[in-house]
Structure 1
Amino acid sequence: MPMKAPTADWIDTAQLLDDPYPAYARLRAESPVAYVPRLNRYFISGYRDCFDIEMDQDTFSSYERAETSTMLRTMGRPLLRKDDPQHKAERNAMAPALRPIAVKKHWNSAFEANARRHLDSLRAAGPGADLFRLFAVPYAADNLSAVIGLHDITPEQMMDWSHTLIRGIGNVTGDPEVWAETTRVCAEIDGAIDAALSSSRDTDALTLISQMTQAGTSDEDLRANVRLTVSGGMNEPSHVIASAVWCLSAFPAQRELVESGQSTWRDVFEETARFHSPVGMYPRRVTRDTSVGGVAIPRDATVAVIVASANRDSAQFENADQFDLTRDATSHLAFGNGTHICAGNWVARSMIGDIALPLLYDELPDLRAIDPDTTDYHGWVFRGARSLPVTWTP
């Protein structure tokens, strides 16, 4: 007989924003499945439970109700808030632009050109420059515009769109000013989509917009999925780039492994994604009375799958609170798992692990964060550094 869920009324949302990892460690030790009344969610913090939930979409559905979903109010219903077969159909429509072969043959040259251009800006600013603002953000923005198929979008505009959509997703209090901003941003994104759709040069392009159009994706679904890609496709890569540089600065012995050839830049990418998960949580709706880890969860409850906690679970990763390039980190859940694994994961692996990180460290000798201990990390649903001043040997 499943037990009643422990109540974690000690969870402090302000603390989660500042540094969620102490709370996650306590949850894993005391109550890996716990009800958090402040957020009206069941927190799932252990690796195996998070893994299994993602493999069971019949019980743990991504399909949120429109009347309670801030994501749907913000951007419409993208594939992230659908189950198969609808989810699979839309994912398949986007897939040709995101497969490893497309990344290798089509996108890598564009990614490298963007990386070199923004590296020049960082280098021109000189030691002390903010790598996050001058390299990671504009590099991610320009790559995202290219893959989606948008034209003449500045990095500042893309960041505004992304941050505003994310504020909308988090607008659980219904702040009308936030809703007004999301309405503005969605109209701007729609205008950019219209421009792409009307451009004859994009008809056969290997972009998300072109591929969804060719597959017959409805206009409503296409727009919702572009908005989703804007919201997530900016934050994850820019945060992983900054976090990787932070990790190699805070753990210099690990950097020596890369420099000596004992570890690869792909190893850096995977371990960074595990250690500093850029997406820390996603919700699932329970479709029937069930149990997780011997704890009862009722139908229609919402579970918070805390992948950032799962990625620090010592039952899965030895010395999980250490950044260690010698481990096999490829089983991390930073990109999710199962049918909803991030569609852009191969794009991220290539643009960061194959291009951005090797280029930065080849071109900027002794690149390092100036003061890793004071780096301003923030967030728990989405988490990353808000700035990263760096130095190098000129």
Structure 2
Amino acid sequence: MSTAPRIDIDPPSFWADPYPMLAKMRKEAPIAFVPQLGSTLLASRDDISISEKQIDVFSSHQPQGLMNKLMGHNMMRKDGEAHQVERRAAFPTVSPRTVKAHWTAQFQAHADRIIDTIEPSARIDFMRDFALPFSGECLKSITGLTNIDFGEMDAWSQAMIDGIANYAGDPAVEARCHAATAGIDAAIDDMLPVMRKNPDQSLLGVLLASGMPMESVRANVKLAISGGQNEPRKAIAGTLWALLTHPEQLDLVRKGEVSWLQAFEEYARWISPIGMSPRRIAKPWTIRDVSFELDERVFLMFGSANRDEKHFERADQFDVRRDVSKSVAFGAGPHFCAGAWASRAMIAEVALPTVFARAGRIEIVDDEPVRIGGWAFRGLLNLPVRWLS
């Protein structure tokens, strides 16, 4: 165990709102052992930015980690050339050129079709009725698993996200995760003859064409589903909520003084959909006066880094005019999110401008509270609105 000072948390309170405790850690103990999580947490942006790049110490290779055990050994849990080989194999699907030339038009078609089903003046849950199906349909296209429905995609993603954050070891959560990965394997098996006969630009298509071993193909498709559904779904609904609750900032975007991308990236800094990334200590190491032991587990708290007062003024406030160049919402270093360009296109080029263009007005209704939760993966759980066209 590290020599970091011990800080206790109340897990339910931390799940409901981790930011007060993270602010306390940044001030009093930016490197702290939290027994309730069984890990040492790095809370300052400077420590995280440096450590993220030191893969010889802060290794993503975690043979006993929850992701490896539950989803298979994917590129996120590999370092160095092993990581780069699989990242290069996936790149043709998610490159900026492919996103612009191939996927953006499909994203737009999904958005238009889903909005067409929304009744004028309807009271809807924006999360359930737009963000969830839109993310699911986009991810079906990108992964190549067009043989399932968006509801399955969403359920599988959530089950895996819950599973790899199941540090309390809840057997029911683990069982749901296993059921999800089995469902994904069956969907992949169903699509293999199609992809081998007619390979396309989907992730399944390009990974099969690359000659990647089948177990790695499966693991990386599961990785794409775990993050590619949950995070965009929450970011779409969350950015909409942030803009609706800050109407003066929405006006700036609508007038073209601030871009939709700036609004999305500020939301991703403010309420980081991926709030944490785990690492394994690959060799004994010391940061200032804190020593780490071999194979110790460390959490890089991206959500804390994105509210670090040393780098962001009024860090707890949403401000679309902010310089977010120091945000680590998509990670940093060699593990910077491979799907970042696709996410930006989905959210900032398609979802947000299309929703605001197609709806005459959107109002948050007050008959149901907006709920938000999570610390490893954080975001809105619902968004009741009235869609006025």
Q: TM-score, normalised by structure 1?
A: 0.94
Q: Does 1:98 align with 2:98?
A: no
Name the CA distance, whole Å, in 2 between partners of 1:204 and 1:93. 14
Shift in Å, 1:16:
1.2
Change (3 A) 1:47 1:368: farther
- Once the two structures are superposed, residues 162-194 of structure 1 have per-residue CA deviations (whole angstroms, 9 ceiling, x without a partner) of 122122213334444444333332222112112
Shift in Å, 1:373:
10
Identical counterparts, % of pairs: 39
1:137-176 alignment runs, 5 A limit: 137-176=132-171
Name the CA distance, whole Å, in 2 between partners of 1:151 and 1:4. 49
Correspondent of 1:351 among 327, 334, 346: 346
Name the CA distance, whole Å, in 2 between partners of 1:276 and 1:318. 15
1:13-92 alignment runs, 5 A limit: 13-66=11-64, 69-92=65-88
Change (3 A) 1:269 1:173: closer
SS at 2:231 equivalent:
helix
Change (3 A) 1:326 1:4: same
SS at 2:123 equivalent:
coil
Correspondent of 1:240 among 235, 238, 257: 235
Query: Any gaps of 5 or more consecutive residues in structure 1?
Result: none
Name the CA distance, whole Å, in 1 between partners of 2:27 and 2:367. 28
Shift in Å, 1:253:
1.5
Q: Please tell me the residue identity of whatever aligns with 2:56.
A: D
Name the CA distance, whole Å, in 1 between partners of 2:288 and 2:138. 41
State the match for 2:253 in structure 1. 258
1:1-394 alignment runs, 5 A limit: 4-9=3-8, 11-66=9-64, 69-121=65-117, 123-124=118-119, 126-199=121-194, 203-371=198-366, 374-394=369-389
Shift in Å, 1:98:
0.2
Shift in Å, 1:372:
11
Aligned length: 388
Shift in Å, 1:76:
1.1
Q: TM-score, normalised by structure 2?
A: 0.95
Shift in Å, 1:124:
1.4
1:284–1:302 Cα contact (<8 Å) kept = yes
1:149–1:202 Cα contact (<8 Å) kept = no
SS at 1:314 equivalent:
coil
SS at 1:85 equivalent:
helix
Name the CA distance, whole Å, in 2 between partners of 1:209 and 1:20. 36
Name the CA distance, whole Å, in 1 between partners of 2:332 and 2:121. 40
1:196–1:202 Cα contact (<8 Å) kept = no
Name the CA distance, whole Å, in 2 between partners of 1:148 and 1:319. 39
Query: Any gaps of 5 or more consecutive residues in structure 2?
Result: none
Residues 261-270 or 151-160, more deviating: 151-160
- Once the two structures are superposed, residues 232-257 of structure 1 have per-residue CA deviations (whole angstroms, 9 ceiling, x without a partner) of 11111000001101111221221111
- Once the two structures are superposed, residues 15-57 of structure 1 have per-residue CA deviations (whole angstroms, 9 ceiling, x without a partner) of 1111111111111111111111121211111111111111111
Shift in Å, 1:275:
0.7
Name the CA distance, whole Å, in 1 between partners of 2:14 and 2:39. 15
